[in-house]
Amino acid sequence: MATNKKIRILIAKPGLDGHDKGAKVVSLALRDAGMEVIYSGLHQTLDQIIQSATQEAVDVIGLSIMSGAHLPICQKLKAMMQEKGLVHTKLTVGGVIPHQDIPKLQEIGVAAVFPGGTSFEDIIKGINSLFD
């Protein structure tokens, strides 16, 4: 049987910030790069994100965060992923992320960080490189 594998990615916006244009255009760019994007929209609780990632069996969770809460959110989500057995799922973050926070996010276990201004090309390359 010919395998037919594609990268599946959940795009989610945790918390209260209501700016989803970025998440939408990135979703389109990822689709155009041949990925299957599950777009789950605004105001996601971490429970919802975990449940969606589980049921959709995604390879990647892509969070879009503009609120400045990226460190606590990623820390908590990463712990929940561990607890729920999503051990092979990669966590990535984009949005308003100060550069000095990138090492901290990596330490938490975030696989890739795409701060505002990252080109589509680099996002796509970054996500593909997680599966080399």
Binding site for other proteins (CB under 8 A): 1-6, 8, 27-28, 30-41, 44-45, 47-48, 51-52, 54-57, 84-86
SS3 category, 52: helix
**Rounded to the nearest whole angstrom, what is the least distance from the CB of residue 38 to other proteins in the complex?**
5
Question: Of the two residues 106 and 125, which places its CB atom closer to other proteins in the complex?
Answer: 125
Nearest distance from residue 97's CB to other proteins, in Å?
Answer: 24
The span from the CA of 22 to the CA of 28, in Å, is 10
Number of Cβ within a 10 Å radius of residue 126? 16
Q: Among residues 20 and 101, whose Cβ is nearest to other proteins? A: 20
Distance CA 112, CA 59 (A): 13
